[in-house]
């Protein structure tokens, strides 16, 4: 992982996705964002918005995450999001909206580090799309969760290993070591 050319992408850490299965990720993601930001590296946040007659409504009969407070980022991440490089809104699984694609290309990032909710859908789809766009995708395995439960999270990681490579999955401790080593070699302004 090239921390100097990487951005941290925090996927959909929104009130409407936080439940008894996913709540434990909030402090982990908050800690990761703080460490990443302290190293002077960019952080991007995504927010999912559902809309009338969306595929989620048509195929799943799922009508949530249309309005605040469900669409708001969790309170623990509101301040970091206000200081983030960008907060990107989306209406589908992937980070790669036209706005995000342009931002990533213009910034020249080569590596995208993913955390957030949900491992098996928005995190996985964003990481696979990063792979297919020629970026090095990284999934922080213990800084992402599924709001559908741990078995679904684990299934998402199995598929991720198959689609982007097992070497692209990293644990929080290993990533923190890389961030610390990077911060120790760079004089931050």
Q: β-strands 111-117, 169-170: how paired?
A: unpaired
Total tally of structural domains belonging to the chain: 1
If DSSP codes are grouped into helix, strand and coil, which group holds residue 8?
strand
State the residue range of the domain holding 127: 3-185
Give me 137's structure tokens: 């995708």
Cβ neighbours of residue 129 closer than 8 Å, sequence gap 6 or more: 94, 95, 96
Nearest residue to 94 via CA among 53, 145, 128: 128
- pLDDT in tens for each of the 189 residues of the chain? 999 999 999 999 999 999 999 999 999 999 999 999 999 999 999 999 999 999 999 999 999 999 999 999 999 999 999 999 999 999 999 999 999 999 999 999 999 999 999 999 999 999 999 999 999 999 999 999 999 999 999 999 999 999 999 999 999 999 999 999 998 775 544
pLDDT at 186: 58
For the chain, where are the alpha helices, taking DSSP H only?
25-38, 55-60, 75-82, 98-107, 124-132, 150-164, 172-185
Q: Is residue 45 left, alpha or beta, with left meaning phi > 0 and alpha meaning psi from -120 to 50?
A: beta
Helices (H) and strands (E) counted in the chain, each on its own, are: 7, 6
| Neighbouring-strand partners of residue 89 | 47
pLDDT at 159: 98
CATH number for 19: 3.40.50.850
pLDDT at 188: 47
pLDDT at 137: 98
Rounded CA-CA distance 106/131 in Å is 17
In order of 29, 87, 110, 137, 181, the CA distances from 134 in angstroms are 25, 22, 8, 9, 26
If DSSP codes are grouped into helix, strand and coil, which group holds residue 89?
strand
pLDDT at 172: 96
Question: Burial, 162: exposed, middle or buried (Cβ in 10 Å; 0-12, 13-18, 19+)?
Answer: exposed
């Amino acid at each position: 992982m090239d921390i100097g050319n990487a951005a941290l992408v925090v996927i959909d850490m929104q009130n409407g996705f936080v439940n008894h299965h996913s709540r434990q990720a909030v402090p982990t993601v908050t800690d990761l964002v703080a460490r990443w930001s302290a190293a002077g590296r960019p952080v991007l946040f995504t927010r999912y918005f559902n809309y009338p007659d969306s595929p989620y409504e048509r195929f799943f009969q799922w009508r949530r995450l249309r309005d605040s407070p469900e669409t708001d980022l969790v309170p623990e991440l509101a301040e970091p999001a206000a200081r983030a490089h960008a907060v990107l809104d989306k209406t589908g699984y992937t980070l790669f909206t036209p706005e995000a694609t342009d931002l990533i290309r213009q910034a020249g990032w080569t590596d995208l580090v993913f955390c957030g909710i949900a491992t098996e859908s928005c995190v996985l789809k964003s990481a696979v799309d990063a792979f297919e766009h020629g970026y090095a995708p990284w999934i922080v395995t213990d800084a992402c969760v599924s709001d559908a439960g741990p078995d679904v999270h684990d299934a998402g990681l199995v598929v991720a290993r198959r689609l982007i490579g097992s070497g692209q999955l990293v644990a929080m401790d290993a990533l923190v070591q890389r961030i610390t080593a990077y911060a120790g070699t760079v004089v931050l302004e």
